[in-house]
Amino acid sequence: MRTTILCLFAAASLAACKWTEFDDLQNQTWVTSTQKPDVKSIDYGVVIQRGDDGSGSATGGTLAVIGAGPGTYSELTYNQAGASSLGTTSLALAAQGIMTLDPSPILLASPKSAEVALVTTGDTSSIIVATGTHTLGVHQLSVVTTTLGNTVTIASTPDAATYMQPAPFPGGDPNPAPGPLVASGDVVMGTIYAPPAGSKQPACKLTDGTNPIQVRALGVVSAGATDDVLVWNGADGKLLKYPGSVFNGCPTQTPLASTNMASTPAFLPGHGSQILTIDATHVLLQGHQDVAKGTGSFLQVYDTTTLSPVGAAITTDGMRGAAILNTGSAMYAVAGYPSSAVNGKATGKVLLFAITPAGFATDMPAETLYDAQPDSNELFGRCVAVMPFNGKQVIAVAADNEIFVYFRVQLADGTPLYDETRQGR
Amino acid sequence: MQSRVVFAVWLAICALALRPAYGQSEAALKKAQAAFDQAQAEFLQGKYDEAARSFQHAYDARPFPSFLYNVAATFHTKGKKASDPVAYQKAIDAYRKYLAADPEAPDKAKVEKAIDVLEAEIKRLKGPPAGAGSPVAAPNGAGNTAPPAPPPSEEVKQLEVKVRGLVVIESEPSNATIYLDDKRKGAFGTTPWSGTLEGDHKVILEKRGYMVLEKTISADPTKLFVLSGAMAPASFLGWVEITSNVPGAEIFIDDKTVGAVGKTPLSQNLPKGKHTFWISAEGYDEVKQEVDVIPNEVTPIRIQLKGAPVGRLNVTGPGIEGAKIAIDGKVLCERGPCQKRLPEGDHTITVTRHDYKPFSRRITIQAKTESQIRVTLAPTQSRSDAFVTFLLAAGFGGGGAYLGLQANQLRDALKKEIAAGKPPPDSNDPRFLRGKYYAIGADAAFAIAGIAALSAVYYTFRDKGAPSTGVIDVRSIALTPSIGPGYAGLGMGVSW
């Protein structure tokens, strides 16, 4: 009897499973996945952007997240060990007066501060620009009382936006901080929310000779103390450079330069296309068609001095957004393909392409990120961002109601893209 | 040697001298038998006076008292038929002669009662008649007719009367010991013997120096049956007389397996040579003795049995006939009821029966006592609960093993994928939770399986249901002094 009991205990001990092993393994993962926290949106993570810019001494990182249905702004705060938590400054956008959130709202990050800006449709007479650091303050850009008078009609739906360093507005702040430049149709508007008395909302109609202008992406290129503006024309695909003075308003503005026929991207960008700054002389054009028109995508490095392409374009279908990762030693284009199939399952993926001085050396991705255990239609990569974290940059990927942050990435060839960025583990 | 020769010659002379006497006796016996048969015939014909006379002739030929009884019974019957006081008086006289001839008659009391009843009946019949003064019938029957005889009294009616058959057992030589049916019953009598017997019997005649004579008789209660045995001398036999201080002790000779040949006291012939005797009695040590039997000599065997510290164990109870009884691990009885002697002291009794719970008890056997154990065996209960629990344990064990394997597979796969990073599992990978659930489920299943297995082991070995029981009753075996013809000793009985 005693022997039987001992044998049973021995067998049970040998066969017993330590479930805490899974907790340990969970802590060893490279990727922190955060399910939709306690926010009211049912579509969490339609767009993400870095929160903190990493300029401070604080460790960890912050990710600004926009949810839809109803619209919310919230922040995911990552401690230095990579554990996420919901920030305390979650906002219901409706309470801020943002009643209609665009399907793909524009969420920008200031290049010089922790400020972020949400650009979306306002009412019939304004575009809403909500800005703030760890919160949002709503501003309205009037589309009817602009410096353009009544000679043009400006839609209240934004087509593109970018942070830029403007020149001082007459009668305004002599040292203005970078602010969002918002485009609607062929008009761009600087975010002067409270123009000095007698001034109207600055706006500037962009022209390209007889060619129609449909701004689909805005970018900036440094022009000394201020920035000039890069415009990717959705009407003909041209990349145009305009002076930064358009921020403060003008009746019309012709481009300083534009791509010629040979250098014009062979792609007509749709809404949500981007011009991402690589360095002082290079930008990355991320273009994709509007959903209703197709899945065509375009990714190419351009020289902002000559407005000519650098290297070959990557035209893998299905891209919806991109970000640039600077590891300190290398740069990568992080491109999200939320509808692409992985292992026969349309779950989405994120491709990393190495950016060299010669542009993309190859159209083969340096690494493919995807959910190891994906759900169907997970929309993995519907938005990507690069988040400063513990003094480094890490990749953040939005999926359907789930945010992935990669604290460690290994390239396809086995070399680390960046090694463990978490601390205190 | 010379003395033995002289003794043999003397025996031969005696035998020759006795032969004529035995021949005369045989003639008288035939005469008596003829008279007895005639008397029986006359009795059946209602010729009572003649029958009584013939029975008297039979007695005259061979004075067997039963003949006198039959004389009396004949007159008794005649008197009863006609309420004849004269016949009654003759019957009384014959009864008295019978009792005088056989003072130890087994029916002495009945006969004396019959005498009393008949004497009263005579007085009743000779008393004044109910119609005194009426004319008396002439002796020759002329004139008035004789009044009818009064019926016998109720007492007379109740008396049973009939003539008896007679069994006569004789031997040549006489004084042989008679055993009836089985020597173990003890001696029945000695020859010559007469009396009443009914049914078939085996008669064994044994006499020192003579061969044993065995005959089977069928006694007719209405006839005179005479068994005459001429016993042949046997010079090679010796005569043993076995007695013990405990009367009724069983005697085994030479081979115990054939059973006891008789009980003490016992005298019988045995072939010459060495013989082994075992004498045993309940509550006494068995005595074994080797005896050299010498032909034509009496060999007395006096056995002194000594009480042994033994008691008797008596195991009874319902269904005991199918149970095996063991004492101290050794089978005492293959099946019950079991009654055996056991040495004094502590013993462990175990009663087992298929499909029943065993009964085991420590008992103390005391000398000269009977420990009766009435055992009630309880049927063993079904072990289906243990079987089901074992199945449950196996099921949970198997389920636990399956879940454990699944958990281990997930753990290994996750480890491998985390190390490889292609792609790296995220912190919310469902496999972590699933694996944890599997592991917890496996541990829970193992725990349940363990508990179930322990329960099953318990269920297997637990004593389910009521146990087998036994009630012990200790009774003393009393030894009482006993004195009989030719012996004295101690008798044994059980009392409580």
Best residue in A22, A36, A413 for a mutation probing chain B (most B CBs within 10 Å): A22
* Distance from C-alpha of A49 to C-alpha of A54, rounded to nearest angstrom: 13
Q: How far is B470 from chain A (nearest CA, A)?
A: 29
Confidence (pLDDT) at B12: 40
A216 lies in which domain range? 142-271
And the tokens for B328? 């101290």
Cβ–Cβ below 8 Å for B439 and A19: yes
Chosen for mutation from B426, B432, B433 (greatest number of chain A CBs closer than 10 Å) is B426
Chain B residues with CB under 8 Å of a chain A CB are 400-401, 403-404, 407-408, 410-411, 414-415, 417-418, 421-433, 435-436, 438-440, 442-443, 446-447, 449-450, 453-454, 457, 461
- In chain A, residues with a C-beta closer than 8 Å to the C-beta of B431 are 373
Helix (H) / strand (E) element for A384: namely strand A383-389
The segment with the largest mean pLDDT, out of B183-187, B280-284, B421-425, B476-480, is B421-425
| pLDDT at residue B8 is higher than 50 | no
Q: How far apart are CA A105 and CA A383, in angstroms?
A: 11
Residue A83 covered by a domain: no
Shortest distance between the Cα of B318 and any Cα of chain A, in A, equals 34
CB atoms within 10 A of CB B100: 10
Average pLDDT over residues B191-202: 81
Cis amide prior to B337 (ω within 30 degrees): yes
Q: Please indicate, yes or no, if residue A381 is contained in any of the structural domains.
A: no
The residue-averaged pLDDT of B462-466 equals 81
pLDDT value at residue B173 = 86
Comparing B8-123+158-164 with B310-381, is the CATH topology the same? no
Q: Model confidence at A353, in pLDDT bands (50, 70, 90)?
A: very high
Q: Is A135 on the interface with B (CB under 8 A)?
A: no
Rounded CA-CA distance A277/A301 in Å is 10
Q: What is the pLDDT of residue A12?
A: 58
Question: Is A12 in CB contact (< 8 Å) with chain B?
Answer: yes
A332, β-bridge pairs: A325, A354
Q: Where are the domains of chain B?
A: 8-123+158-164, 171-303, 310-381, 384-461
Distance CA A219, CA A269 (A): 14
Is the alpha carbon torsion for B442, B448, B451, B456 positive or negative? negative
The answer to whether residue A159 scores a pLDDT higher than 90 is: yes
Task: Give me B304's structure tokens.
Answer: 């002194």
Give the Cβ contact number of residue B465 at 10 Å: 11
pLDDT at B19 over 80: no
DSSP class per residue in A75-141? EEEE-TT--EEE-S--EEGGGGT-----SS-EEEE-SSSS-EEEEEE-STTEEEEEEESSS-EEEEE
The b-or-e profile of B231-267 (16+ CB within 10 A means b, else e) is beebeebbbbbbbbbbbbbbbbbeeeeeebbbbbbbb
End-to-end C-alpha distance for chain A, whole angstroms: 48
Most confident option among A333-337, A419-423, B151-155: A333-337
Tokens linked to A344:
């026969």
Note which residues in 86-125 of chain A have CB less than 8 A from chain B.
Answer: none
Q: Which of A128-132, A351-355, B18-22, B99-103 has the lowest mean pLDDT?
A: B18-22
Q: What is the DSSP letter of A296?
A: -
Complete edge-to-edge strand list for the sheet that includes strand B193-195: B193-195, B166-172, B224-230
Read off the pLDDT of each residue in A167-183 and give the average, rounded to a whole number.
Answer: 93
Q: Is B18 a residue whose pLDDT tops 70?
A: no
Q: CA of B462: which chain A residue's CA is closest? A: A1
Distance from CA of B353 to the nearest CA of A (A): 25
Assess if residue A195 is contained within a domain: yes
Mention the CATH class of domain B171-303.
mainly beta
Confidence band for A368, pLDDT divided at 50, 70 and 90? very high
Q: Using a pLDDT cut of 70, give the percent of chain B over it.
A: 86
The structure tokens 């008669």 sit at B203
Q: Which fold has domain B310-381?
A: Immunoglobulin-like (2.60.40)
pLDDT per residue over B485-495, tens digit each? 444 555 555 44
Over range B417-435, report the average pLDDT. 87
In tens, the pLDDT along B209-248 reads 788 888 888 877 777 788 888 888 877 888 888 999 888 8
Number of domains into which chain A is organized: 1
**Encoded amino acid at A416, one letter:** P
pLDDT of residue B90: 92
Does residue A18 belong to the interface with chain B, where contact is any CB pair within 8 Å? yes
pLDDT-derived band at A155 (thresholds 50, 70, 90) equals confident
Residue in chain A nearest B437 by alpha carbon: A19
Option in A25, A32, A406 nearest B418 (CB):
A25
Confidence of residue B5 (pLDDT cuts 50, 70, 90): very low
With an 8 Å Cβ cutoff, are B426 and A368 in contact? no
Q: What are the pLDDT digits (tens) for A84-112?
A: 999 888 899 998 888 888 888 999 999 99
In which band, very low, low, confident or very high, does the pLDDT at A1 lie, cut at 50, 70 and 90? low
Q: Which H or E run contains A28?
A: helix A20-28
pLDDT at A4: 60
SS3 category, A26:
helix
Asked if residue B139 has a cis previous peptide bond (ω within 30° of 0), the answer is: no
Residue B131 confidence (pLDDT): 47
pLDDT in tens, A7-40: 656 665 666 778 888 988 888 899 999 999 999 9
Within a domain: residue A401? no
- A25 in contact with chain B, both atoms CB, cutoff 8 A: yes
pLDDT score of B424: 86
Residue A120, pLDDT > 50, answer yes
pLDDT tens-place string over residues B362-391: 999 887 788 899 999 988 888 888 899 999
Q: What is the model's pLDDT at position A107?
A: 96
Across the interface, of A32, A368, A412, the residue whose CB is closest to B426 is A32
Residue A77 has what pLDDT?
Answer: 94
* Prediction ipTM score: 0.83
Residue B115: pLDDT band (50, 70, 90) is very high
Neighbouring C-alpha atoms within 13 Å toward the C-beta of B133: 0
- Whether the pTM exceeds 0.80: the reply is no
Above pLDDT 90, what percent of chain B? 24
DSSP state of A12: H
Average pLDDT for residues B82-88, to the nearest whole number? Answer: 89
Chain A partners within 8 Å of B426 (Cβ): 29, 31-33, 371-372, 404
pLDDT tens digits, B50-76: 999 999 998 998 888 888 999 999 999
* Architecture field, domain B8-123+158-164: Alpha Horseshoe (1.25)
**Does A9 reach chain B within 8 Å, measured CB to CB?**
yes
